[in-house]
Chain A
Amino acid sequence: MNVANQSYPENRSENASDHSLVPPCQDACPLHMDIREYVGLVSQGRIMEALQVIRTGNPFPSICAYVCTHPCEDACRRSQVDKPIAIRSLKRFAVEFGGDRMVRAEAETKHAEKVAIVGSGPAGLACAYYLKKLGYAVTVLEAHSELGGMLRVGIPQYRLPREVLNIEVQRLIRMGVEIRTDTRVVSLDLLFELGYKAIFITIGAHQSLRMGIEGEESPGVIDGATFLREVNLGLKPSLGKRVAVVGGGNVAIDAARTATRLGIKKVSILYRRSRAEMPADPKEVEQALEEGIDIIYLVTPTIIKRENKRLNVTCVRMELGEPDESGRQRPVPIKDSVFIEKFDTLIAAIGQAPQTPSDFGVRIGRGSTIQVDPSTLTTNRVGVFAGGDAVTGPATVTEALAAGRLAALRIDDYLQHRYPLPVKETKEKLGGDLLPKTIEMIKKIERVEPPNLAFEARAKDFETVELVYGWEQAINEARRCLRCGVGVEILFQDKCATCLTCLRVCPYHVPYLDVSGTIRIPADQCQACGICVAECPAKAIVLRKPFDRRQVTDELGHTIKSAAESKNKPLIIGFCCQYGLYGTGTLARLWRGAKAGVSIVPVLCVAKVEATHLLSAFKTGAEGVFVAGCGEQCARENTTYWVKQRVAKVRKVLGSIGLEPERLQVFALSSTAEDPAEELDKFVEQIGSLRLASVIKGEVKS
Chain B
Amino acid sequence: MIVAEQKPLEEIRRMIAPYQRVLILGCGTCMTVCDAGGELEVSFLHNALQLAQARSGDVAHTFYEHTLKRQCDPEFLGLLDEKTADVDVILSLGCGIGVQAVAERLPDMPVLPGVNTSFMGMTKESGVWDERCAACGDCRLEDTAGICPITRCTKGILNGPCAGPKKGKCEANKDMDCAWILIYQRLERLQQLDKMRRYYPPRNYRPIPRPRRITSKAGTMAGEGNG
Contact = CB atoms under 8 A, between A and B. Distances in A.
Interface of A: 494-495, 497, 499-501, 504-505, 535-539, 611-612, 615-616, 618-619, 621, 649, 653, 656-659
B86 to A, nearest CB: 23
A537 B55 contact: no
Contacts of B28: 495, 497, 538
25 contacts: A495-B28, A495-B67, A497-B28, A497-B38, A499-B32, A504-B125, A537-B32, A537-B39, A538-B28, A538-B39, A538-B40, A539-B38, A539-B43, A612-B44, A612-B47, A616-B47, A618-B51, A619-B47, A619-B51, A653-B52, A656-B8, A656-B10, A657-B52, A658-B55, A658-B56
B47 A657 contact: no
A615 B47 CA distance: 6
A657 B9 contact: yes
Contacts of B9: 653, 656-657
B40 A505 contact: no
A619 B50 contact: yes
Contacts of A618: 51
Contacts of B55: 657-659
A536 B40 contact: yes
Contacts of A616: 47
Nearest to B27: A497
Interface in B204-222: none
Contacts of B10: 656
Nearest to B126: A504
Given A536-B40, A537-B38, A657-B52, A497 B29 contact: yes
Contacts of A499: 32-33, 38
Given A501-B126, A615-B47, A618-B51, A539 B8 contact: no
Interface residues of B, number: 27
Contact of B69 (A494, A500, A539): A494
List 9 A-B pairs, minimum CB-CB distance, nearest first: A537-B38, A615-B47, A504-B126, A499-B33, A497-B32, A539-B39, A657-B52, A656-B9, A653-B48
A497 B33 contact: yes
Nearest to A499: B33
A455 B48 CA distance: 63
Tell me the dominant secondary structure on chain B's binding face.
helix
B177 to A, nearest CB: 23
Interface string B10-45: 100000000000000000110011010011110110
Q: Of residues A494, A495, A500, which shows the largest number of chain B Cβ atoms within 10 Å of its Cβ?
A: A495
Contacts of B126: 501, 504-505
B54 interface: yes
Interface string B62-83: 0000010100000000000000
Interface string B112-130: 0000000000010110000
B35 A621 contact: no
Nearest to B52: A657
Contacts of A501: 126
A615 B40 contact: no
A625 to B, nearest CB: 11
Given A495-B69, A500-B123, A537-B38, 4 more contacts: A538-B67, A539-B40, A619-B50, A619-B54
A499 B33 CA distance: 5
A499 B52 CA distance: 30
A614 to B, nearest CB: 9
A6 B8 CA distance: 54
A618 B44 CA distance: 13
Contacts of A536: 40
B54 A621 contact: yes
A495 B68 CA distance: 9
A611 B39 contact: no
A611 B44 contact: yes
Nearest to A657: B52
Contacts of A612: 43-44, 47
A537 B51 contact: no
Given A612-B47, A657-B9, A537 B40 contact: yes
Nearest to A534: B40
Contacts of A615: 44, 47-48, 50-51
